[in-house]
Amino acid sequence: MSASFTSPLAEALAPGLLERFDRYARIGTQARRDRTQSPSSPGQLELGRLLVDELLELGLADAAIDDDGYVFATLPGDGPVIGLIAHVDTSPDAPGDGVEPIVHRGYDGGVLRLPRGGTVLDPEEMPELRSAAGHDVVTSSGDTLLGADDKAGVAEIMSAVAWLVAHPELPRPTLRIGFTVDEEVGLGASRFDVERFGARCAYTIDGSSLGELQDETFSGWGVTVTIHGHDVHPGFATGKLVNATRLAGQVLVALPPELTPEATSGREGFVHVYEVEGNAARTEIRAIARDFDDDLLAAHLATLRRVAEEVAAAEPRARVEVVARPQYPNMRRFLAGDPEIVEKAAAALRAEGIEPVRTAIRGGTDGSMLSEMGLPTPNLFTGGHEYHSVREWASLQEMAAAAATIVRLAQEWAA
Ligand SMILES: [Zn+2]
């Protein structure tokens, strides 16, 4: 066995896995924020249909894509019904069409200069890349993202299922495969039919570094602060104009700088203003609030509301509206009562020779929503890194370790 693989199983899975990953990555499946239908882009349907064809070819006879673009399929076995989930869409935050993966075989640990866009991957700035020296590193050609988020997860599930089909002697429970759409615009679980999926629990394969096992995400709220001023022609504005844009500026300045994403880390939450739009008559401040702790999250929301109301109070002719809505919950509360779900994943990782890395995700996953909807769903690593950027890369050895972990997870759940 080559030293950089976690097991002979991972090494055996690697060639087919790379072939699948390359095939899926080349299909443009970027999600669109201005979604008018599900899925938000036709490429997601194209990849979904390809996956159905490949699942049917593997003998998963019920493989099908529904009207919203979700692909479900079943691999029968003995034991409970366990779900495996990945998303087919890629992030709208970097160019995602025309992806041409490049495999840097036996990466030497140095600077990687990609052929297009002047993109450079420097291990000095990316410690995880440095630790992938000796691996087969996959990048884009420099002017697009790679789409390992989450086509690595898709390819790992497909490879593990293909392996189990080819090795009927290996124990497995009944596996339910679910490929979702539009995860990157926060809608991956929105039309997921948990009842029809019919699993006891599931795992998203949508993390990053080797060994990650995540059963905790942020709880997230979205907040819109709307400031209504009073617009008057500036030539006649004396004593009359109430400028909503300037009041919005006061709100931004009054928000605590220590409560921002750039000033927090680890288990600290934040308030993040991501967009401001408006004019003298009306200006909207769009923000998100995040925390692992619901009481602290409520405090962040209260801070934003108080700041907005104080600014409004100093200018009685202005009017301020604050609308907050929940986006996704911390999955921990739904998993805490059923520790077996995380324990089996930890056992599968150890069986693959990997020490589980228990981290809390400073974001949400499909699993945050699915857990709340009644399908407890922690998250496992994929071996992809630097997501949502043209510097995105993946280690074939880590991807193979993820696929092998899925095969071992099946063993853990088998009756
Ligand atoms: Zn993802």
Distance 196 CA to ligand 1 centre (A): 23
Say yes or no: 337 and 194 in one domain: yes
Question: Catalytic: which of 54, 136, 150, 183?
Answer: 183
- Do the domain assignments include residue 301? yes
Residue after which a domain boundary falls, among 328, 353, 386: 328
* Predicted local distance difference test score (pLDDT) of residue 191: 94
Domain assignment of residue 3, yes or no: no
Query: Of 328, 347, 382, which residue is a domain's last?
Result: 328
Specify the pLDDT at position 209: 96
**How many whole angstroms from 150 Cα to the centroid of ligand 1?**
5
Comparing CA positions, the residue from 71, 75, 344 lying closest to residue 201 is 344
Domain span including residue 338: 8-217+330-413
147 in the same domain as 66: yes
Which is catalytic among the residues 89, 156, 212, 398?
89
Tell me how far the alpha carbon of residue 183 lies from the centroid of ligand 1, in angstroms: 7
DSSP run (H or E) holding 373: none
- For residue 1, what pLDDT is reported? 62
In a domain, 362, yes or no: yes
Domain presence at residue 1: no
Identify the pLDDT of residue 74: 98
Question: Are 359 and 296 within one domain?
Answer: no
Q: State residue 34's pLDDT score.
A: 87
Same domain? 148 vs 272: no
CATH number of the structural domain spanning residue 100: 3.40.630.10
Kindly give the distance from the C-alpha atom of residue 184 to the centroid of ligand 1, in angstroms, as a whole number: 7
Same domain, 58 and 177: yes
- What pLDDT does 33 receive? 87
- Is omega for the bond preceding 8 within 30 degrees of 0, making it cis? no
State the sign of the Cα–Cα–Cα–Cα dihedral 295, 297, 300, 306. Answer: negative
Q: How many domains does the chain have?
A: 2
Annotated active-site residue 46? The verdict is no
Query: What integer pLDDT is reported at residue 186 of this predicted model?
Result: 85
Q: Look up 89 and say whether it is catalytic.
A: yes
The residues whose Cβ lies within 5 A of ligand 1, an ion, are: 149-150, 206
For the chain, 415 residues long, give each residue's pLDDT as a single digit of tens.
677 999 999 999 999 999 999 999 999 999 998 888 999 999 999 999 999 999 999 999 999 999 999 999 999 999 999 999 999 999 999 999 999 999 999 999 999 999 999 999 999 999 999 999 999 999 999 999 999 999 999 999 999 999 999 999 999 999 999 999 999 988 889 899 999 999 999 999 999 999 999 999 999 999 999 999 999 999 999 999 999 999 999 999 999 999 999 999 999 999 999 999 999 999 999 999 999 999 999 999 999 999 999 999 999 999 999 999 999 999 999 999 999 999 999 999 999 999 999 989 998 888 999 999 999 999 999 999 999 999 999 999 999 999 999 999 999 999 8
Q: Are 352 and 404 in contact (CB under 8 A)?
A: yes
The reported pLDDT for the residue numbered 145 is 97
Give distance in angstroms: CA of 242 to centre of ligand 1: 44
- Report CA(174)–ligand 1 centroid distance (Å): 25
Residue 321: Cβ within 10 Å count: 12
Instruction: Give the integer Cα–Cα distance in Å for 250 and 306.
Output: 13
Where a domain ends, among 262, 295, 328?
A: 328
Main-chain dihedrals φ then ψ at residue 244, nearest 5 degrees: -65, -30
Q: Write the CATH number for 320.
A: 3.30.70.360
Q: Are residues 51 and 112 in the same domain?
A: yes
The CA 179 to ligand 1 mean position distance, Å, reads 12
322 and 383 fall within a common domain: no
Question: Ligand 1 mean position to 265 CA, how many Å?
Answer: 20
* Sequence-distant contacts of 323-327: CB under 8 A, at least 24 apart: 323/223, 323/224, 323/226, 324/221, 324/222, 324/223, 324/289, 325/221, 325/222, 325/223, 326/219, 326/220, 326/221, 327/186, 327/220, 327/221, 327/222, 327/288, 327/364
